[in-house]
Protein backbone atom coordinates (compact mmCIF):
# COMPACT_ATOMS: atom_id res chain seq x y z
CA UNK A 1 0.00 0.00 0.00
CA UNK A 2 1.28 3.42 -0.99
CA UNK A 3 0.25 6.82 0.32
CA UNK A 4 -1.48 9.12 -2.18
CA UNK A 5 -3.22 12.46 -2.24
CA UNK A 6 -6.07 13.40 -4.58
CA UNK A 7 -6.58 17.11 -5.17
CA UNK A 8 -9.94 18.03 -6.68
CA UNK A 9 -11.05 21.51 -7.74
CA UNK A 10 -14.84 21.63 -7.87
CA UNK A 11 -16.95 24.14 -9.78
CA UNK A 12 -17.79 27.10 -7.50
CA UNK A 13 -21.20 27.58 -9.14
CA UNK A 14 -22.54 24.26 -7.81
CA UNK A 15 -24.93 24.21 -4.87
CA UNK A 16 -23.63 22.94 -1.51
CA UNK A 17 -25.35 19.56 -1.76
CA UNK A 18 -24.17 19.01 -5.34
CA UNK A 19 -20.61 19.89 -4.34
CA UNK A 20 -20.78 17.49 -1.40
CA UNK A 21 -22.07 14.77 -3.75
CA UNK A 22 -19.05 15.27 -6.05
CA UNK A 23 -16.61 14.90 -3.14
CA UNK A 24 -18.49 11.87 -1.78
CA UNK A 25 -18.32 10.25 -5.21
CA UNK A 26 -14.55 10.81 -5.31
CA UNK A 27 -14.21 9.21 -1.87
CA UNK A 28 -16.36 6.28 -3.01
CA UNK A 29 -14.07 5.76 -6.02
CA UNK A 30 -11.02 5.67 -3.71
CA UNK A 31 -12.63 2.96 -1.58
CA UNK A 32 -13.89 1.07 -4.64
CA UNK A 33 -10.36 0.60 -5.95
CA UNK A 34 -9.01 -0.73 -2.66
CA UNK A 35 -8.03 2.51 -0.97
CA UNK A 36 -8.45 3.59 2.63
CA UNK A 37 -9.11 7.29 3.21
CA UNK A 38 -6.96 8.74 5.98
CA UNK A 39 -7.85 12.45 5.79
CA UNK A 40 -10.10 14.85 3.87
CA UNK A 41 -8.99 18.47 3.85
CA UNK A 42 -11.47 21.12 2.69
CA UNK A 43 -9.72 24.35 1.76
CA UNK A 44 -12.93 26.07 0.72
CA UNK A 45 -13.40 28.58 -2.08
CA UNK A 46 -10.18 29.93 -3.57
CA UNK A 47 -9.31 32.08 -6.54
CA UNK A 48 -7.89 30.08 -9.44
CA UNK A 49 -4.43 30.96 -10.75
CA UNK A 50 -5.95 31.42 -14.21
CA UNK A 51 -9.41 31.33 -15.70
CA UNK A 52 -10.72 27.84 -16.51
CA UNK A 53 -13.92 27.47 -18.55
CA UNK A 54 -14.77 31.13 -17.78
CA UNK A 55 -14.54 30.46 -14.03
CA UNK A 56 -12.29 32.38 -11.69
CA UNK A 57 -12.96 30.50 -8.44
CA UNK A 58 -13.24 26.90 -7.30
CA UNK A 59 -13.57 24.80 -4.16
CA UNK A 60 -10.42 22.87 -3.27
CA UNK A 61 -10.50 19.42 -1.63
CA UNK A 62 -7.52 17.24 -0.71
CA UNK A 63 -8.20 13.56 -0.03
CA UNK A 64 -5.31 11.59 1.46
CA UNK A 65 -5.50 7.82 1.16
CA UNK A 66 -3.57 4.55 1.21
CA UNK A 67 -4.04 2.33 -1.85
CA UNK A 68 -2.39 -0.25 -4.09
CA UNK A 69 -0.29 0.98 -7.02
CA UNK A 70 -3.08 0.37 -9.56
CA UNK A 71 -5.59 2.69 -7.83
CA UNK A 72 -4.38 6.11 -9.10
CA UNK A 73 -4.79 5.24 -12.78
CA UNK A 74 -8.30 3.87 -12.19
CA UNK A 75 -9.19 6.86 -10.05
CA UNK A 76 -7.98 9.40 -12.62
CA UNK A 77 -9.93 7.72 -15.42
CA UNK A 78 -13.16 8.08 -13.39
CA UNK A 79 -12.59 11.61 -11.99
CA UNK A 80 -11.61 12.91 -15.44
CA UNK A 81 -15.19 12.55 -16.73
CA UNK A 82 -17.06 13.70 -13.61
CA UNK A 83 -19.37 16.70 -13.92
CA UNK A 84 -18.46 19.53 -11.58
CA UNK A 85 -14.74 18.72 -11.43
CA UNK A 86 -12.65 21.48 -12.99
CA UNK A 87 -9.19 20.03 -12.28
CA UNK A 88 -7.76 17.01 -10.43
CA UNK A 89 -4.39 15.56 -9.58
CA UNK A 90 -3.27 12.36 -7.86
CA UNK A 91 0.24 12.37 -6.39
CA UNK A 92 2.17 9.78 -4.43
CA UNK A 93 3.44 11.01 -1.11
CA UNK A 94 6.99 9.97 -0.30
CA UNK A 95 7.85 9.20 3.28
CA UNK A 96 10.51 11.58 4.50
Res. 94 pLDDT band, cuts 50 70 90: confident
Domain of 10 in residue numbering reads as 2-92
Please tell me the predicted confidence (pLDDT) of residue 65: 95
- pTM of the shown model: 0.91
Give the domain CATH number at 88.
3.30.70.60
Report DSSP letters for 8-72, one per residue: EEEETTS-HHHHHHHHHHHHHHHHHTT-EEEEEEEEEEEEEEEEETTEEEEEEEEEEEEE-TTHH
Q: How many domains does the chain have?
A: 1
pLDDT tens-digit profile of 48-77? 999 999 999 999 999 999 999 999 999 999
Amino acid sequence: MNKYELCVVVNAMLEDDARTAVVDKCKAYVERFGGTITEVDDWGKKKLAYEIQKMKEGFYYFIKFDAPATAPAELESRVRIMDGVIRYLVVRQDEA
